[in-house]
Structure 1
């Protein structure tokens, strides 16, 4: 799997010192581009803190072969071990991106300048592990990208930079969304690191009511063919963008007595001989890709 490249045009602010930065990221789609972006800015990444592969994980997790020479990979067995790793490498700052485990407060404060996190939402909206999945489910046409200081809670720290990117209908996978989020996040890194070095605390998150974007549950896992075709299409796209979930599998639909996990659908009639047309409660939907479960 080839990781997306971070933008190369950005260079380090010559007035900002070179930093020693730990990257805290679990996937080959996320850690290598961040290492590259930080190196392009003139900073050094001595270590990437990865994540132990779950037994039921279907894809590739970050391995040492994904990282450039001179960058160590540490795979802690427990969350509290992250603290010891960051202290051992004595980094100036830790940069977290999509890490599937909540970091303890001691780990967050271990680097000299603290720990920052990139979250793909306009915080405080869609805090939690599944922000883009919920944005798709709710019909959002754009998503936020927010760099914030990490604190003892989840996605609540003060904001250092934010932007908005379109959430186009053509995005159907975590990797597709992640590529665009990383591009936006990398472009903001110089500003974010400059604020850290200057001791800028950032802005508290807005006082507006936040929302929680947890993993999808059983109530959204089964396809009801009597529903609107547009709603089912959205359900399929939301699940596929949300990615792997070890506890609940979806979206599951019954076609000709067989259970399928739907991977791709379309509301527009595809070329002849392509897909399976399903008449829904309102409108037609074509199933383009699915995995048999029975």
Structure 2
């Protein structure tokens, strides 16, 4: 009898674990991805004419959705070969048009859905860019780059170092509901906004404060520090625009560190 009870409990426990893993593996967080890239100007067979495709893949390199395709049928078939091989030329919900005749920054947004309109499971994804400028020979004068991020309930912000082909490569994933001010320790009625920020960050102090504003990066290094001594409520604006896009933590603390709040902020310039 005891053995039967033990086996029953083990079966129930296994089913609970399996159910939990299944639910976690199939979480589908809604949100918005913003991706920016600036192809470096090059002169090809047709002058400044160039073709560009931007698309997403999941962690198994499976195509998810095209977000931008600027090329005529010849360019799509003869030059954007990586994109064509991955997407089978699928452009559902994509911005499309003729080849580009001048160089300027490009930006796309993605709402977390696939070509069927369904929200994809949370996990690791990559944004891919293919850029070709030499229209005189099939498959030449082409380069690609990609940037990885995590889609889920937490915000994610990534940047890529400039190369000879691309600059200004960055992305921000913002889960539905936005990246709210995250407060730890004592709640002293302080708000930090906007979030994400283009570099100017407002710190709304609802009461007098004698202390410091300290900004740290994700490895804990202090990148900004300022002493604050106010006698009344005040909105303090700090300028973080000289720092790279990414995640930072704004600490607002009293002089003796008896009261402190920490806020997660995303820079996306």
Return the TM-score normalized by structure 2: 0.25
Kindly indicate which of the two structures has a greater share of residues assigned to strand: 2
Kindly indicate which of the two structures has a greater share of residues assigned to helix: 1
Return the TM-score normalized by structure 1: 0.24
Q: Relative contact order (C-alpha < 8 Å, sep 6+): which is higher?
A: 2
